[in-house]
Structure 1
Amino acid sequence: MNEPLVALVGPTAVGKTKLSLALAQQLEGEIISADSMQIYRGMDIGTAKVGPEEQEIVPHHLIDIVDPDQEFSVADFQERVDQLIPKIYQRGKLPMLVGGTGLYVKAVIEGFLFPEMETDWELRERLEKEAEKEGTEHVHNKLAEVDPALAEKLHPNDLRRVIRGIEVYQQTGQTITYFKEEAKKRPPRYQAVKVGLRRERENLYQRINQRVDLMIKEGLVEEVRELYQQGYDRELVSMQGLGYKELIGHFDGEYDLEEAIRLIKRDTRHFAKRQFTWFKRDDSIHWFDVEEYQFEDLLIEVKGLIREQLQW
């Protein structure tokens, strides 16, 4: 596993899609989506998926691979990408990992030691009932007893991850923290060059607001309503996606459409800030301030870096 790999990362609405399409065409690349929401079928507008026209120009992978009620983990993503990259490389193409889900990118390049285990549905159901009866703090305290480092990072209301932490410990005798620490000791799995895009905060926030308005115009409300009517509820991981959970709240009568749109914009801005905080911790990312370049100049700079780093 030492194939060349490009990772193009950065916060939502920063301009990754446009640059990735141009780079892929000029470097003979194939794009692997590193977006934890674009994996779901029927969720197109809200996840800003590239359209069929773009996918005809440049092959895209790991888009529309599961239904919104199917489970899909970071381990599943890593496994799929590990199968994809050698095939792309054998075709004489450059694998390009593009997206804003930092955990997905990290899993592919650095690798995680994922414990081999079956889902313990009985345990999950029991802990969910305990959370309903005793409160989420009660279940969070159970995690703190076995994996205090993970418990410190997780809010008690992040029940899904709290339960997962307990489940891993009960089945393997080791904590998620242990597996993460072991993963850090391993060398990089691919010969990767990481490119990050950023913009001034106010400009990025303006782009986010404009993009949300465009999504509404393109039919986001209708897209979410259709999923809602099919029975996909807000408890699903997929329906926690930006734009989806806020509109479901509107459909449930909690607020009007204008407030839903305001919440989508606010939550997306907060999400972009968290994304940038995540990526900023990675010293190996080569950052480019998008606003300092004309697009063609940015393309030349990034392409030059990739060719120099990967000898591609």
Structure 2
Amino acid sequence: MILSGIYSLRSIRLPQRPIFPSLRNGTLVTSSTSVSVNQKKEKVIVISGPTGAGKTRLALELAKRLNGEIISADSVQVTSFIEQYCCCVFGNKMKKENWVFVLVYRGLDVGSAKPSPSDRQDARQATKDILRSGRVPIVTGGTGLYLRWYIYGKPDVPKASREVAAQVYSELANFERDGDWEAAVQLVVDAGDPKAQSLAANDWYRLKRSLEIIRSSGSPPSAFQVPYDSFRNQNDPSETSDTCDLKPSADELEQHKVKDLDYEFICFFLSSPRLDLYRLIDLRCEHMLSDGILSEARWLLETGLLPNSNSATRAIGYRQAMEYLLHCREQGGMSSTRDFYYFLSEFQKVSRNFAKRQVTWFRNEHIYHWLNASRPLDKVLNFIYNVYNDQSGTLHVPESLQMKKYMSNKREAAELKAYRAKNGHFVHREDCSDILDWIRSTQEVKS
């Protein structure tokens, strides 16, 4: 969330070279370091989970216990004054040096402030710097693809030039304006990417990116090497052994792959039972409104940005808030109570849907150990602390802290299907009166 008074989001990119390793003369070689096969690897903690699960709080408390520094793995992250926010929420013990303002892959510079050279360091370099200083890297965020790139390496796909980006925009603009998703997908399929048909409906960003890659290189995204897939292929014994009749389990394959990574990644996925998670998300959306997300959306609009035009304005909450304010401006700077509650309901719904997609994605990421976020924080912290300091090389999550990946019964599925948000603050008409007054005083379009 963008905090009041913050006017820049930083753009940090991973290095172009893949970071997956290869074996040369008995030595494990990576893009970041050369490690002897028998040498003890340095440890990196990764904490992920769906939105609203409590990743940030857990990472901050863990950083204090382990003398750690945090690397953000979110697609959009604020990099200024966040230490003031941390002190406000977690007490004055939290110091600025506990948070490293580095994105795993991509952010966006939307303000006039220019990043300093230190802000431009990539997440892998930050990891090395943290370890060199004798501290513990703690990577946290909910963007699964960025975390995969951080651990295994970024796909070597071409970046679109401004000319290509403009061409692709013009090719798809009318389809997006008219909401003709199927016709847009067919255009990309005809251009050379049959896998565009498997994209989630109305995922215009990924559809545009696919067409950009085709227009830049003449090949679809699937033609480019993906380090994660290389790990999976090179470490699958069933592909090379004639004596293996049974294919290893996904967990066994992941354990085999971990041996070939340049760090000992200790990865956790923090979540809650789905109904509890949805309630937390709904309350979080209310808190974001109380904390000023509409003011931040107003600032984004005043910089000249439009909803869904870049990574910052695609972020859940900001896109909906910007669209709501634009609607208010169309109504002469006014909003009805009904319009406000419709906006809040949509904000909550897309947040819950995003959390569901995150859970689905991470079910297939077998390097992660699932932890129940509804358990006492101290117990979760103590467990991770002990795992980090354990030298046995084994990791077993006690049953009391385990989080199941799948729903356990039909009753839970039925309850989820019937779920409806129950607000804690915005319940009655008068509860949103302050926000409606703010809209009347700030959103009238001056001629």
Cα distance, 1:309 vs structure 2: 6.5
Residue 169 of structure 2 corresponds to which residue in structure 1? 128
Cα distance, 1:118 vs structure 2: 4.8
- Once residues 155 and 14 of structure 1 are traced to their aligned partners in structure 2, the CA distance between those partners, rounded to angstroms, is 24
1:227-242 correspondence to structure 2 within 5 Å: 227-237=300-310, 238-242=312-316
CA distance change for structure 1 residues 173 and 35 in 2, over 3 Å: closer, same or farther?
same
CA distance change for structure 1 residues 98 and 137 in 2, over 3 Å: closer, same or farther?
same
**TM-score, structure 1 length as denominator?**
0.83
Residue 286 of structure 1 corresponds to which residue in structure 2? 369
Residue 200 of structure 1 corresponds to which residue in structure 2? 273
Cα distance, 1:164 vs structure 2: 2.1
CA distance change for structure 1 residues 262 and 136 in 2, over 3 Å: closer, same or farther?
closer
On the 8 A contact 1:191/1:310 being kept in 2, the answer is: no
CA distance change for structure 1 residues 273 and 118 in 2, over 3 Å: closer, same or farther?
closer
1:63-142 correspondence to structure 2 within 5 Å: 66-68=108-110, 80-115=122-157, 117-133=158-174, 137-142=182-187
Does 2:327 match 1:253?
A: yes
CA distance change for structure 1 residues 51 and 272 in 2, over 3 Å: closer, same or farther?
farther
CA distance change for structure 1 residues 173 and 55 in 2, over 3 Å: closer, same or farther?
farther
Partner amino acid for 1:264? F
Cα distance, 1:157 vs structure 2: 3.6
Cα distance, 1:36 vs structure 2: 0.9
Residue 275 of structure 1 corresponds to which residue in structure 2? 358
Partner amino acid for 2:130? I
CA distance change for structure 1 residues 251 and 51 in 2, over 3 Å: closer, same or farther?
farther
On the 8 A contact 1:13/1:208 being kept in 2, the answer is: yes
String of CA shifts for 1:46-74, please: whole Å, max 9, x gaps: xxx7467645362332279742379xxxx
- Once residues 347 and 280 of structure 2 are traced to their aligned partners in structure 1, the CA distance between those partners, rounded to angstroms, is 13
Q: Once the two structures are aligned, what percentage of the paired residues are identical? A: 26
On the 8 A contact 1:228/1:248 being kept in 2, the answer is: yes
Structure of greater relative contact order (alpha carbons < 8 Å, 6+ residues apart): 1
**Structure 2 gap ranges (5+):** 1-31, 33-40, 113-118, 232-259, 329-334, 394-447
Residue 167 of structure 1 corresponds to which residue in structure 2? 212
Cα distance, 1:92 vs structure 2: 0.6
Residue 74 of structure 1 corresponds to which residue in structure 2? none
**TM-score, structure 2 length as denominator?**
0.60
Cα distance, 1:226 vs structure 2: 2.1
1:27-38 correspondence to structure 2 within 5 Å: 27-38=66-77
Q: Report the structure number with the largest CA radius of gyration.
A: 2
Match of 2:47 among 1, 8, 18: 8
Residue 73 of structure 1 corresponds to which residue in structure 2? none
On the 8 A contact 1:41/1:67 being kept in 2, the answer is: no
- Once residues 265 and 118 of structure 1 are traced to their aligned partners in structure 2, the CA distance between those partners, rounded to angstroms, is 34
Per the alignment, in what secondary structure is the counterpart of residue 323 of structure 2? helix
- Matched residue count: 297
Cα distance, 1:231 vs structure 2: 1.6
On the 8 A contact 1:40/1:68 being kept in 2, the answer is: no
On the 8 A contact 1:102/1:279 being kept in 2, the answer is: yes
Residue 380 of structure 2 corresponds to which residue in structure 1? 298
CA distance change for structure 1 residues 90 and 230 in 2, over 3 Å: closer, same or farther?
same
On the 8 A contact 1:39/1:62 being kept in 2, the answer is: no
Per the alignment, in what secondary structure is the counterpart of residue 305 of structure 2? coil
CA distance change for structure 1 residues 207 and 133 in 2, over 3 Å: closer, same or farther?
closer
Per the alignment, in what secondary structure is the counterpart of residue 235 of structure 1? coil
On the 8 A contact 2:49/2:359 being kept in 1, the answer is: yes
**Structure 1 gap ranges (5+):** 71-76
Does 2:100 match 1:60?
A: yes
Cα distance, 1:170 vs structure 2: 3.8
CA distance change for structure 1 residues 113 and 253 in 2, over 3 Å: closer, same or farther?
closer
On the 8 A contact 1:10/1:197 being kept in 2, the answer is: yes
1:207-222 correspondence to structure 2 within 5 Å: 207-222=280-295
On the 8 A contact 1:112/1:179 being kept in 2, the answer is: no
String of CA shifts for 1:21-55, please: whole Å, max 9, x gaps: 1111111111001111215779x8xxxx7467645
CA distance change for structure 1 residues 39 and 226 in 2, over 3 Å: closer, same or farther?
closer
